[in-house]
Amino acid sequence: MNRMGRLIALVVAAATCAGLMGAMAQTQDESEREIERYRAMINDPMANPGYLAVDRGEVLWAQARGTKAVSLEACDLGEGPGKLEGAYAKLPRYFADADRVMDLEQRLLWCMEKIQGLDTADVIRRRFSGPGRASDMEDLVAFIANKSNGTPIQPQNAHPREREMTAMGEALFYRRAGVLDFSCATCHAEPGKRIRLQGLPDFSTPGKQAQETMGSWPTYRVSQSALRTMQHRLWDCFRQQRWPEPAYASDGLTALQMFLNVQAAGGEITVPSIKR
């Protein structure tokens, strides 16, 4: 990483940390002001590289593709075909046409196959972007999630399958396995803990830490020079947990997101954010 990249990373980490400190005495010193500048940067499409993904996603959303040569604009993300405002804030949710609870990625893949007649093998191969390899999914999620900015996270529980998924997500969160006996709770169930210097958000109780976390994904990760969605964050935590690699857009990841969103209910969505 270059020097500027390192500095941004530090500011991002300090901002996250300052956020966690919450109501602690605020001194208007240089770093405080710098953190404020960073916060403003998140919302500035000219300064936040995550907005490049938002723009690419907007193009992809309207592009005719697949054997049916149509766009995704007829895709129903829960609020009605093509209705994007606030849709992300209510995902994952139950979809009667698929008879499944789906997160945004699962729903997009479903729409690509059913509406566009698109072979999603290539889309899934490019699920995580890398140097010289764009990810349709990351771009689409950035574009769609951004349309929920300013909206509170609203976990869905009207359908029994939604309640069941949430309960299974919670069970998964506390499940200890792998050669190191880790569960999500090993690292994310006490406030104020850290691994090395990385602060660990506590998701075991509903509230601010879960809200700030879930309201800030998708995010532009400075250390990876890429926009990432919750699919990538959970994939990375499975790796740290020494569990097997989870299949992309599999139901277990959706269950975990249901549970995390219940803990994060009411948190305001501000995406794409910028993180370390």
Partner 1 sequence: MVSFSSKLIRTLLVCGIALTVTSVDAQDRPPVDPAKVDALIDGMFTRVSPEWRARAVLDDTQRTCTDRRNQVSGAEAEAIQARERASVVLPPDGNFLGDWRKGFQVANNGRGFQFSDPAGTVAGGNCYACHQMSPKEVSFGTLGPSLAGYGRERNYDPELIRDAYIKIFNAQAAVACSNMPRFGSSKVLTIEQIKDVLAYLFDRQSPVNQP
CB 79 to partner 1: min, Å: 27
The entry of ligand HEC, partner 1, none near residue 246 (CB within 5 to 8 angstroms by kind) is partner 1
Active site residue 111: no
Contacting ligand HEC within 199-238 (CB under 6 A):
199-201, 213, 233-234, 237-238
Establish if 256 lies at the interface with ligand HEC (CB under 6 A): yes
Query: Which of 37, 181, 223, 225 lies at the binding interface for partner 1 (CB under 8 A)?
Result: 181
Residues whose CB is less than 8 angstroms from the CB of residue 221 and which lie 6 or more positions away in sequence, other chains included: 227, 228, 275, 276
Establish if 198 lies at the interface with ligand HEC (CB under 6 A): yes
Q: Give the nearer residue to partner 1 in terms of CB position, either 22 or 150.
A: 22
Contacting partner 1 within 44-103 (CB under 8 A):
none
Q: Give the nearer residue to ligand HEC in terms of CB position, either 238 or 248.
A: 238
> Given the structure tokens 């998964």, which residue do they identify?
172
Cα distances (Å, whole numbers) of residue 255 to 15, 189, 258 = 29, 18, 5
Q: Give the nearer residue to partner 1 in terms of CB position, either 11 or 72.
A: 11
Write out the residues near partner 1 by the rule CB under 8 A.
7, 10-11, 13-14, 17-18, 20-21, 24, 29-31, 34, 163-164, 167-168, 170-172, 174-183, 185-187, 190-197, 199-200, 202, 204-205, 238-240, 242-247, 250-253, 255
